[in-house]
Each structure stands twice: as structure tokens, then as C-alpha cells.
Chain A
Amino acid sequence: MTAKSYVRKVRSGEDRLWRASAPALARLDVELTERCNFACRHCSVGLPAGDRAARAREWPAARWKALLSEAADLGCLVVRLTGGEPALRDDFEDIYVHARRLGLRVMLFTNAALVTPGLARLLADVPPLEAVEVSVYGLTPESSEAATGTPGSFAATRRGLSLLGERGVSFVVKGAVLPPTRGEMDGLEAWAAGLPGLAGPVSWVTLLDLHSRRDAARSAVIAGLRMEAGEFVRLARRGGEAAVDEWREFCGRDGRPRGDRLFSCLPAAASAAVDAYGRLQYCLGLRHPDTVYDLAAGSLREAVTDFLPRLRERRAAGPAYLERCGRCFLKGLCQQCPAKSWAEHGTLDTPVEYFCDVAHAQAVAAGLLERGKKAWTVSDGAARAARRNGA
């Protein structure tokens, strides 16, 4: 017997938790509802809070609890409860407590507007073990409500944040760079820094995704809210050149082109997502019917051990993808993925011009590419990035 070394402390996000083999499912994203009490114009999901048809189709608490139990049996450690607005469900607390009693850590995504004293107390007494992620749109009632499309949303979110802070619940603030809020980034960060309970810096949603159910009208609105590629680079440089150095490092670390690989999102390798109606997806954005598994007709175990591994093996066939994305060394910068392709084009493998433009602007700013040149025509891209990193 050797002394004093029986306990090992690890952070939940570290793969080193498992020394031999990892579980089939490490994280499960659960979209409890697509409905939301806000009506954000930029949202790729939200349905109206009172959408009865959507509500009637949503899985009841008993189904969610059974699924979470199955996830825990598979070794899952973290569940993300999101929506829509998850706290909109009357049975939210029941589902949350069940997840925690299973020993799951909970990542809760919310706008905090529905946080009551009772919910704040619950989150304090039975903590989620991950900082609650609160979306905060805007620094003033005017800018906030222009973003959320919901009168009273500004005050409601502030009230929710106060309740969390008073109870000592850890949270982080997520902002979105939108036309009404674009000039408020510094101000929001300064305001957030003074909040009791804040567990980290403000994170920003900058590059908006189109509507994940491919609602053309909603997507057109979102497209109109997107910032230009040059604006994205300018904002990234707000705090100095660290972001640009990071872009260079990404490309230098692995500039090998994708070839015909479709799924290169490594963090998703042991994770899965389930929509509000019990359909398992690779991630919450990927709702292409060919990539969805109906849990009503199968099991979570089968989905993560058979369906998802086969899905990950799927190869790209689109000529434009193979010609461009397949040969491009900017994959570390570009947000191109099957989910984005689905939302934009209804396919899994069509290049998304918006993300392509942004990645090229980043590469030019990082000195990796001449302006006007296409990255997939550069044969020594990875070597360039490595050289620039070493310089």
C-alpha cells in the first residue's frame, strides 16, 4: 500500500479522466424545446413560446429522464440542456434534478428571463457543476429588445441574473454581435465584469448560422444580420493581435486539407444531440433527414455505437466541395461543416460562401494568403503557416 495517493482530481472536460478506454458517449446535448419566450431575429431555432403544435410534439419529462438514465449508463458525464428556452418547460426542474441525481454535470443554456427565486435556489443547492451560460443581448432596453424582439426582455434577463448572483450560482455571459448591439461590446464586457457570480469572460456569437429547419424567410432575416468578413477581422483584433496569432497557429498545427472527409469535428466524436422530439442528431445544427436517428424506433446505445460511427464515415461527393474545401489548408479557420452546409444549401457537402469569405479574410490578416488568392489553389499552405508560426 502506498500512502496518500488514492484520490485523483480531474476536470470534467479532460479526456484524461479515463486512462484505458473512453465511454461511448461523453456528452449529450438535449434540446428540451424549440420554443422560446424571446423572438430573436438571429436565432436559428426559436419557435414562439405559445406554439401548441410544437409543445404537443415535445417529449414529456418521463422520456427525457429515461434517456438521461440511458446516457449515464453509457458513461456520459455532461449533459447540455438547451432550447429554445429550456426553462420554458413546466417540468424543467424535474428533468434537471434527475440529471444531477444521475451524477451528470449540466450545462444550462438560458436567457435567464424565467429564473425564479425557486429555480435560483435549486441551482445553488444542487449546482449544475458547470457555469450557467446566459445569453445577454444588449446593454440597454432599446438595443436588447431590438435584438430579442420581445418587450420586457431586457429587464427580465437582468432580474434573472440578479437572482443567480444573489444565490451564488456561477454563470457566464454570452453576447451576440448584431446590428443593434455591435457598438456595445466593450460596454457589455465592462458591465458583466462587475456581476456577482460571473465565472469567466464574455463570449461572443459573431458568425450567425442560418435557420436549422431551413425556414427560408427566417434564414433571409438572419443573412441580413450577418457581419461582413472584414468586420469580423476588425472585431477579432479589438483586443490586439492575439486572435490573429491564434489563427496562424491553427493553420500551422494542421493545414492538411480535408480531402473527401465530411466530419472533421473532433470534439463531437463522443457526443450526440437530441432534438425536442426525440430525434438524435450528430449535433444540434445538423437536421438533414439522412443524418437523424429516431430514438422512438431504437435506442441511444445503438445510435451512438452504430448509427453515429457509420455517419462519421460518410464521404463528400459534391464536386465544388472536393475541388475547394477538400484541397483547402484553411480548415482550422473555416466553419464549413455538414451542419452549416445543411442550413445553407440543404446538402451535407456544399461550400458555404460566407464562411469561406471569412476564413479567407482571416488568412489574409494573418499573412498566410495574398488578397484575392483562393486558398485551395495554394499547394504549400500548411508549410506557409508553419513557417509563419516559426517566424
Chain B
Amino acid sequence: MTEKIDLNKAYLPSEEVVVREIEGEIVIVPLTSGIGDLEDELLTLNETGRDIWSRLDGARPLAEIVRDLEAGYDAADGLVREDVVGFLQELCDRRMIVAKDRDKD
């Protein structure tokens, strides 16, 4: 059972992936087994995906990141939050991001 995305938590890229920037593309490469759908697939992010990904520093709660993004995008109320949560849930299900465990700080 994968974790539900929580707006009060901070997230960061998992140590089970390697994130590379190649010719302007963010490419997420699985490092350990069981990441992603198929072994021969890589993930790249579009501009919006990059915008979200680049803010995942493990320090700021997701709600704060959503507020930042809402200020930069012309979108209907709630749409940005819905999109960000949906996108991060997909990455979380693939074990590509993890919630920062504040107790370990």
C-alpha cells in the first residue's frame, strides 16, 4: 500500500532514482528494482512537471509549494492543488519521491 500524498508534508526525490538533466530535459532513471512500470522506460518531465519537481527540497511543506505555483499559473481554484497532488501521487506510487521524515532531522 503506497502512502497518500499529504499537503502538510515535505517531499524530496527518492534515493532509489537518479535524476539527470540532459540537453534541457529532466530524466528520471530508476536505480533499484521495482521502480517504474517497465525496465526499459525512462521518465522525462515537461515544463510544468519540472516546475513542481524542482521545488521538492524536503524542507517546504507541499501546501506552500502549491501556493507558489498558484501564484505563477492562471488556473481555476483548486486545479493546481489537484494537479500537483495527482502528479506527486504518481511519483510516490513509483517510489520516485519520499516524504521527508522530520523526526530524523
Contact = CB atoms under 8 A, between A and B. Distances in A.
Interface string A1-21: 111111111111100011111
Interface string A249-278: 000000000000000000000000000000
A23 B21 CA distance: 11
A101 interface: yes
Nearest to A72: B20
- Of the candidates A1, A8, A103, A105, the one having the most CB atoms from chain B within 10 angstroms of its own CB is A1
A20 B41 contact: no
Contacts of B68: none
Measured as residues with beta carbon below 8 angstroms from the partner, the interface class of chain B is 35 or more
A1 B83 contact: yes
Contact of A4 (B18, B32, B75, B83): B83
Contact of B43 (A1, A7, A130): A7
A3 B22 contact: no
B43 A8 contact: yes
A75 interface: yes
Interface in B1-45: 18-20, 22-25, 27, 29-33, 37, 39-45
Given A6-B87, A18-B23, 10 more contacts: A1-B73, A3-B82, A3-B86, A6-B83, A7-B87, A7-B91, A12-B41, A103-B27, A105-B29, A125-B33
Interface in A353-376: none
Contacts of B80: 1
Interface string A124-145: 1111011000000000000000
Contacts, number: 103
- For the complex, would chain B's binding face be called helix, strand, loop or mixed by DSSP majority? mixed
A1 B79 contact: yes
Given A1-B80, A72-B20, A101-B18, A12 B40 contact: yes
Given A3-B79, A17-B42, A102 B18 contact: yes
B48 interface: yes
B53 to A, nearest CB: 8
Interface string A181-201: 000000000000000000000
Given A5-B46, A7-B45, A102-B18, A19 B83 contact: no
Contacts of A281: none
B30 A129 contact: yes
Measured as residues with beta carbon below 8 angstroms from the partner, the interface class of chain A is 35 or more
A382 interface: no
B43 A9 contact: yes
A77 interface: yes
A279 interface: no
Contact of B41 (A11, A23, A75, A170): A11
A130 B46 contact: no
- Nearest 5 pairs of A and B residues by beta carbon: A6-B49, A103-B18, A103-B29, A1-B73, A75-B22
B3 to A, nearest CB: 19
B10 to A, nearest CB: 19
Contacts of A21: 23-24
A170 B49 CA distance: 31
Contact of A20 (B24, B37, B52): B24
B34 to A, nearest CB: 9
A6 B18 contact: no
Interface of A: 1-13, 17-23, 72, 75, 77, 100-105, 124-127, 129-130, 170
B64 interface: no
B57 interface: no
A129 B17 CA distance: 12
B44 A17 contact: yes
Nearest to B82: A3
B44 A8 contact: yes
Contacts of A1: 48, 69, 73, 75, 79-80, 83
Contacts of B39: 127, 129-130, 170
B27 A17 contact: yes
A62 to B, nearest CB: 21
Nearest to B29: A103
B72 to A, nearest CB: 9
A9 B41 contact: yes
Contacts of B29: 103-105, 129
A173 to B, nearest CB: 18
Contacts of A17: 22, 25, 27, 42, 44
A18 B22 contact: yes
Contact of B19 (A9, A103, A127): A103
